[in-house]
Structure 1
Amino acid sequence: MFLRTPAPATTPPTIPLVLILALLTAVTPFSVDMYMSAFPAIAEEFGTSASVVQLTLTSFLIGLASGQLFIGQLSDRLGRRTPLLVGIVICLAASLLCAISPSIEILIALRFVQGFAGAAGVVIARAIIADRTQGARAAQLFSVMMVIGVLAPIIAPVLGGQVVATLGWRAVFVALAMLNVLMLLGAYFMAGESLPAHRRRPAGLKAFGRSAVSVLGNRRFMGYTLTLGCASGAMFSYISASPFVLQNILGMSPRAYSLTFGACALAVAASGVINARLVRTVAPRALLTGGICAMLVITALQLFNVTVGGVTPWATIALMACFMGTLGFIYANATTLAIGEARDTAGTGSAVLGFLQYATGAAASPLVGLAGSHSAVPMGVMMFVGAVLAAAALFGLARGAAKADDPQVLSPVPVGGTTSR
């Protein structure tokens, strides 16, 4: 079934395909946000601590990061379609097994498998866009995907909160399995092969090493990638700590938490729409710079709030929403600029981008629980540190790319075409 692929597609992505690609990347927010409100319940059922429960998120992110390295390189050799379909099937099986997990240790292990297999959707969706378009058009598509995909973090916590309150936390993973089935059907019928045979690369450690050296040796690629990765670390610090900050410290119920978390995610949708419009006339680099600067200011204010300010409820929630709003200008533009530096090895470049993005998230998530479940200070510290490191990567490593960032230069070209730098 998986090897009967359509002819390679070289036309720009259609709206239905963009919708499918957005759904594939939604595996991350759905797999993370749907069960966030269940953290206290999971800790109570298994008789463990908040930091141990957060390891279920960490293991998922480690799997997601490492899976992208393997699957991205594999897709450069075999094409995009087969690894994508196989990954979704394995992710489906892991989701069902998570629902019947008998211990926290097994749940942590299964979450790793779920993340590793789910990486196929994330890394290959980016590679398909890189195969079929580039430049300002790619930035618009990444923005549109993010706006569509942001429905996931809006819907997921609300849906997850209702499922947890009504059916318990295990039912969340049954819902994720149903989502995996929808992804599988969409990918099978809509996502044709986008990597022609003549553009595929050999596999193996030596080939991967050459591709990796090529992208890792590109200073601007690494600058944009680390910018995204560090911003992602700040985001996952917020995501991992928010259930305990909003429920344990501010006293919200699981339903109220899920509604608040979803409302904050609306800011990502709003900024994503604005970014998709602005990128037609404003350089992606300029929009990325504005997003990073705004994140620096907002995380500094949040750090002040959770230390000197005493975790004031209205300020905490408002700053959370503003923080999420910066991501609409960071994710799409950093991704576009990074992938634009690695078009000849889009699968490997996308894999390295995704690895660093989720590896920083995996490292940050357990750190916010070190001070226990009744302190917001680690969240504030980690969010601010992530923003500072993102700014350092952007203004340090990714400097000197003004010409390539110009939206007039970054115009779409046919796949296999060239662009001057």
Structure 2
Amino acid sequence: MKSDFVKMALILGLLSCVGPFAIDMYLPAMPAMAEDFGVSATKSQYTLVSFFIAFGVCQLFYGPAADMFGRKPPLYFGLAIFLLASLGCALSPTIEWLITMRFVQGVGAASVMSIPRAIIRDRYTGTDATRLMALVMLVISISPMLAPLVGSLLMNPFGWPIVFYAVAAATVVSLLLIRFALSETLPVAERVPVKISAMFAAFKVLFRDPIFMGMTLIGGMGTASFFSFLAIAAFLYTEYYGLTPTQFSLAFALNALGFFTSSQFAASLGERFGGVAVVKWAVNGFALTALVHLLLNISGVDNFVVLVTLLLLSNAFLGLIVPTTMVLSLDEHGPIAGTAAALGGTLQMVLGAIAIVIVSAVFDGSPFTLVSSIAVCGMSSVILFFLTLRRPAHPVNG
């Protein structure tokens, strides 16, 4: 494997960790934070909702900006906002202030969600792009596997604000990486005009492309599934199953392991069977696992080991779905890769935010809410797949 390929994976993976790091490291602190502010679990979950709304919507601006000004300037701008907002979160005197600062934090974090995808598309397509996307996700796996554990270890002696100081420190490292280790991948000659009309013209092309929309929404069902878990996992694991914050972090890491292990096979499977076939079998496996989990729960099976095992299996299928659908959605849109990645990311984050609002509103303290929401996402992904690829509008690689 070429050294520059690995270097690119490390850099983009570490940059892409910034947003998830601000989520995953924070999860073990949510019950303690709610107690400190004297608010309900539902109100504390608004700190996630506000982050994801900004995180999703603002990609619509970073993507076109990356096509107009190059990849690096919007990254500098977004991470500077993220750094200041992280410090604001740490110093929050009220839950309302924290919700607001989390929104601003999401505004900044959006830059490192969509732009790395566009950088991958600048350099690679097809199987190589899938392989690099999977390698980036392997690096990102540092966040869900270690961040909750680090967060729980830090907050025990120092309290929950230390989590945001740690996130701020990680942001400084990201800025240094961009400055000294990341080259600009979009030459001036290939940048699109700085026109609002160009942005809307690109959006028009993307919304009319059923392959782009279908692949994006299939990935969005995976995002909604995972965000449902994020919204209630800390309360479910610690209050219903009685885990400590550290035990929750370890269980969270185990679930994440399924996703990131399987994602490393996405490129080789796509090369052998084709990306479309990988998505087809993975969405069916995801839906089947989720339905089995739901039926077990309805029949009275309420066991923590069963829960974690089936979540691990579901996430393993998502590890094949997410990188493959990302690549397939961008393959036909090289000249507007930044805008395409941004729109795709926005739609997926919006679906995730909607999932958080719904599961937070109906969560009754038991696993049923989580299990049923994942089953809905699984069945929706199957329906979307067959609607999307029944008659492709243009050839799909693989």
- Using the TM superposition, give the Cα deviation of residue 372 of structure 1 relative to its aligned residue in structure 2, in angstroms: 4.3
Q: Deviations over 1:24-62 (max 9, x none)?
A: 111232111111111111111111111111111111111
CA RMSD in angstroms comes to 1.8
CA contact (8 A) 2:10 2:139 kept: yes
User: Which residue of 125, 131, 140 corresponds with 1:134?
Assistant: 125
- Using the TM superposition, give the Cα deviation of residue 402 of structure 1 relative to its aligned residue in structure 2, in angstroms: 11
Instruction: Determine what percentage of the aligned residue pairs are the same residue.
Output: 33
- Using the TM superposition, give the Cα deviation of residue 406 of structure 1 relative to its aligned residue in structure 2, in angstroms: 4.6
1:221-232 mapped onto 2 (5 Å cutoff): 221-232=212-223
Partner SS, residue 181 of structure 1: helix
User: Which residue of 38, 50, 54 corresponds with 2:41?
Assistant: 50
Equivalence for 2:224? 233
User: Which residue of 10, 17, 25 corresponds with 1:34?
Assistant: 25
Equivalence for 1:313? 304
Tell me how far apart the structure 2 counterparts of residues 353 and 262 of structure 1 sit (CA, whole Å).
26
Matched, 1:107 2:98: yes
User: Which residue of 183, 186, 196 corresponds with 1:192?
Assistant: 183
The letter for the 2-side match of 1:168 is G
1:258-407 mapped onto 2 (5 Å cutoff): 258-372=249-363, 374-401=365-392, 404-407=395-398
User: Which residue of 255, 262, 270 corresponds with 2:246?
Assistant: 255
CA contact (8 A) 2:287 2:378 kept: yes
- Using the TM superposition, give the Cα deviation of residue 287 of structure 1 relative to its aligned residue in structure 2, in angstroms: 1.1
Tell me how far apart the structure 1 counterparts of residues 343 and 4 of structure 2 sit (CA, whole Å).
23
CA contact (8 A) 2:19 2:112 kept: no
CA contact (8 A) 2:115 2:338 kept: yes
- Using the TM superposition, give the Cα deviation of residue 12 of structure 1 relative to its aligned residue in structure 2, in angstroms: 10
Matched, 1:75 2:66: yes
Tell me how far apart the structure 2 counterparts of residues 85 and 327 of structure 1 sit (CA, whole Å).
31
Matched, 1:16 2:7: yes
Partner SS, residue 110 of structure 2: helix
Structure 1 or 2: larger helix share?
Answer: 2
Tell me how far apart the structure 2 counterparts of residues 34 and 251 of structure 1 sit (CA, whole Å).
20
- Using the TM superposition, give the Cα deviation of residue 278 of structure 1 relative to its aligned residue in structure 2, in angstroms: 2.3
The letter for the 2-side match of 1:20 is I
CA contact (8 A) 1:99 1:174 kept: yes
Q: Deviations over 1:60-86 (max 9, x none)?
A: 111111111011011111111111111
Tell me how far apart the structure 1 counterparts of residues 44 and 126 of structure 2 sit (CA, whole Å).
41
Matched, 1:63 2:54: yes
Tell me how far apart the structure 2 counterparts of residues 26 and 327 of structure 1 sit (CA, whole Å).
18
Equivalence for 2:110? 119
- Using the TM superposition, give the Cα deviation of residue 279 of structure 1 relative to its aligned residue in structure 2, in angstroms: 2.8
The farther-off stretch of 276-285 and 295-304 is 276-285
The letter for the 2-side match of 1:98 is C
CA gap of 1:256–1:245, structure 2 versus 1, over 3 A, is: same
Equivalence for 1:144? 135
1:169-180 mapped onto 2 (5 Å cutoff): 169-180=160-171
Equivalence for 1:418? none
Equivalence for 1:210? 201
CA contact (8 A) 2:138 2:264 kept: yes
CA contact (8 A) 1:237 1:361 kept: yes
The farther-off stretch of 343-352 and 276-285 is 276-285
Unmatched 5+ stretches in structure 2: none
CA contact (8 A) 1:233 1:360 kept: yes
Partner SS, residue 170 of structure 2: helix
Unmatched 5+ stretches in structure 1: 1-10, 408-421
TM-score, normalised to structure 2, is 0.95
Partner SS, residue 271 of structure 2: coil
